[in-house]
Amino acid sequence: MLKYVTTIFFVIGLIYTSNAQPFTFYQTDSKPKVIKPGTTNDTLLNPFAGGLNNPQFSNVDWNGDGKLDLFVFDKESLRPIAYVYNPTLGKVIHEPKYEGGFTNYFNGWAFLRDYNNDGKPDLFISSSSANKVTPAPYVIESTEIQLFKNTSANGIQSYKQYNNKISDTGMYVGYPYDQQLDPTTLPTRGDAIVAIEDLDGDGDYDMLLNQGISTRFIFVENLQKNKSNVVFPNDSLVMISRDFCWGFIDYDFNKHEFRLGLQRSFGSECDYNMWYNKKAARKHAEQSTTLIDLNGDGIKDLVYGDNAFRSLIALTNGRIEANNKYDSIVSQDTLFLSSTNSRRNFIYFPASFFVDVDGDGKNELLVTTGADLAEKTNNNIWVFDANRVNNKLEFTERAGTDFLYNETIDLGSRTAPVLVDIDKDGNTDLIVATSGNLNETGNNNDRLYFYKNIGTNNAPVFKLIDTNFASISTREPNGFFMAHPTFGDINGDGKIDMLIGEGNGNLALFTNNSTDSVITFELTNRNAFAILNGTYATPQLVDLDKDGLLDIVCGQANGTIQFYKNIGTAIAPNFSTTPTIDSIGKIVTKETRNV
């Protein structure tokens, strides 16, 4: 996934400031082209849409053409991405202009739903005030569900917070108590993916969620439309926790299956974890829930994924068949989407989404991962076509797992791009550092990808030339972890050298020994200048103080940017082992886990 864009633009500012040259940004429809690997001149449709580690999908009509487009939220980068379906190409095109106006408080999940029927999709998110830990996955202590109303107008995208958090109104009337409770924040966790669908068939959006510490589900009814014909305004959001033991089921995370047919009476097993009993519950945090009518009976069934397993479970809602008053799960398919007699394994914490991805008016089932720091962070989207046969949905897998990835540059996790004329032909090339996929690299075999600009600086065309530039993945004694490269002539020989920041804070110096025909970078010092820059060093070579010498400006995991002045010469650089300025501008940014 492409990260560190903030750092790049910050350093661009430093470079231009140091040279006292004004610069401006302007919008252009011209986009750099990237040749598809393995082709001669076929180019990627969305080369710089950005990577996807653990995407979540919603349908939306961005441009009002009547075709369903895609809103994609990537949990790892907390980034919204807009794709518009192009009927001529039969594919979706990245459209950044629809990504403006979104809140910066994304956390665990985000979905677009038109809750007030005004024709504009509104934003539901999980949000938490808990601190984020670097570099470990985020620690979520408490999570609220928030709604942001779509207030877009005149082509300007905007969202306004509807309320601080969506709460139970306190009018709980569920079986078997028929008693009123105090208003309560809906219980969920940022890493438990909530289903927001019309669960009771009355035309508004309800919720099916997990308490985060429980193995059961809660049905939260939206009373905007209701069977009692009580009228609420379209903009109202009146929620009732109608059923604390939805489906009469309980998940057994030792077996990755459900117990069915729990009893609903006072003191029963289904009463075990109701809020007002406040009994201890087994902690179980990460789940994905998708509501689909699998058997064509007009009510929602459940597709469930769990963070400790690689397969999905399909659960059939037999309320109509069994003539029950409440939703009742009557069967489960632990071989869901499998063509054999064993479970179909995807990757840990499989998450499914039922959306239309190709503009044909029919939903497909997408399966990806909801895990932080997932074992595979590209080419991890499975697409299943869904067709009804005798009312039941049958799923047919499409070839490949590269939906969206096959039209963009996504080299895995923790990628850092650098624009530099690496071959001295006058055209700016592209070098990308990446940690790749955990199951392939083990987090210590980062690589550099070299994309040569075979076009011009005004109309760049990048072509992948080398997937292990400078052979950093095989450097002894260990490979590189969280490599972040920067380039500059460090020794005054007229050739740009390379400095790589590492996860342990070291700066590794590679000397440019290239000839006219061969590009060669040799590792000169794994701990250059004895600088140890905290952890997750992200250096840039720039003449910050305008004395004619390249200095080192370096971000680190604590969110600060440090300045190391070059106190040597152009041919014999020297830097203090401690920063000249320990926090440039007193800037502290931690949202992207480093600077």
pLDDT value of residue 174: 47
Find the range with the poorest average confidence among 131-140, 249-258, 472-481. Answer: 131-140
Q: Which of 82-96, 154-168, 316-330 has the highest mean pLDDT?
A: 82-96
Count Cβ atoms within 10 A of the Cβ of residue 477 and give its class: 0-12 exposed, 13-18 middle, 19 or more buried.
exposed
The better pLDDT of the pair 278, 320 is held by: 320
Please determine, for residue 438, whether its predicted confidence score (pLDDT) is greater than 90.
Answer: no
- Which pLDDT belongs to residue 547? 95
For residue 185, which of 158, 166, 204 has the smallest C-alpha distance? Answer: 166
Residue 101 has pLDDT above 90, yes or no: no
CB 441 within 8 A of CB 478: no
The predicted pLDDT at position 233 comes to: 79
Domain annotation covers residue 128: no
Write down the pLDDT at residue 456: 96
Q: What is the DSSP letter of 13?
A: H
Question: Do the domain assignments include residue 313?
Answer: no
* Mean of pLDDT values over 564-580: 93
Instruction: Note the pLDDT of residue 6.
Output: 37
> What is the per-residue pLDDT for 281?
37
pLDDT exceeds 50 at position 272 = no
Q: What is the mean pLDDT of residues 257-271?
A: 70
60-62-65-70 Cα dihedral, nearest 10 degrees: -50
Q: Is the pLDDT of residue 561 over 50?
A: yes
What is the structure's pLDDT at 184?
Answer: 66
Mean of the per-residue pLDDT values of the chain: 84
**DSSP character string of 525-581:** ETTGGG-B-SSS-EEEEE-TT-SSS-EEEEE-TTS-EEEE-B-S-SSS--B-SS-SB
- Which pLDDT tens digit goes with each residue over 281-299? 344 558 899 999 999 999 9
11 or 87, greater pLDDT: 87
Q: What is the DSSP string of 111-124?
A: EEE-TT-SSS-EEE
pLDDT at 169: 59
Rounded percentage of the chain residues whose pLDDT exceeds 90: 56
Lowest-pLDDT choice from 393-407, 497-511, 525-539: 525-539
Mean pLDDT is lowest, of 41-55, 367-381, 410-424, for 367-381
Give the pLDDT of residue 413.
84
Domain that holds residue 465: 5-25+413-586
Q: What is the pLDDT of residue 22?
A: 53
Record the pTM: 0.86
Higher-pLDDT residue of 5 and 498 is: 498
- Contact between 461 and 453 under an 8 Å Cβ cutoff? The reply is yes
- 448 domain-assigned: yes
Q: What is the pLDDT of residue 17?
A: 40
Q: How much is the pLDDT for 92?
A: 96
Indicate if the pLDDT at residue 115 is higher than 80. yes
The predicted pLDDT at position 168 comes to 61
d(CA 269, CA 262): 7
Between 430 and 238, residue with greater pLDDT: 430
What is the rounded distance in angstroms from the CA atom of residue 224 to the CA atom of residue 238?
Answer: 6
383, HSE (Cβ side, Cα atoms, 13 Å): 18
**Of 12-16, 46-50, 147-151, which range is least confident?**
12-16
Residue 221 domain flag: no
Of all helices (H) and strands (E), which one includes residue 259?
strand 257-259
pLDDT-wise least confident of 128-142, 151-165, 430-444, 564-578: 128-142
User: Is residue 255, in this structure, part of any structural domain at all?
Assistant: no
- Can you tell me the mean pLDDT for 23-49? 85
Is 175 contained in some domain? no
**Is it the case that residue 139 has pLDDT exceeding 60?**
no
Please give the tally of structural domains in the chain. 1
Q: Specify if 528 maps to a domain.
A: yes
Report, as an integer, the average pLDDT of 547-566.
94
pLDDT value of residue 352: 98
Q: What integer pLDDT is reported at residue 187 of this predicted model? A: 64
pLDDT bin (cut points 50, 70, 90) of residue 454 is very high
Least confident of 166-170, 300-304, 363-367: 166-170
Per residue in 153-181, pLDDT tens? 988 889 998 876 676 655 444 444 455 55
Q: State residue 397's pLDDT score.
A: 95
The pLDDT of residue 339 is 86
Look at residue 73 and tell me if it is in a domain: no
Supply the pLDDT for residue 279: 35
pLDDT at 374 over 80: no
Reported as type and span, the H/E element at residue 438 is: helix 438-441
Beta-carbon-side half-sphere exposure of residue 305 (alpha carbons within 13 Å): 29
466 pLDDT band, cuts 50/70/90, is very high
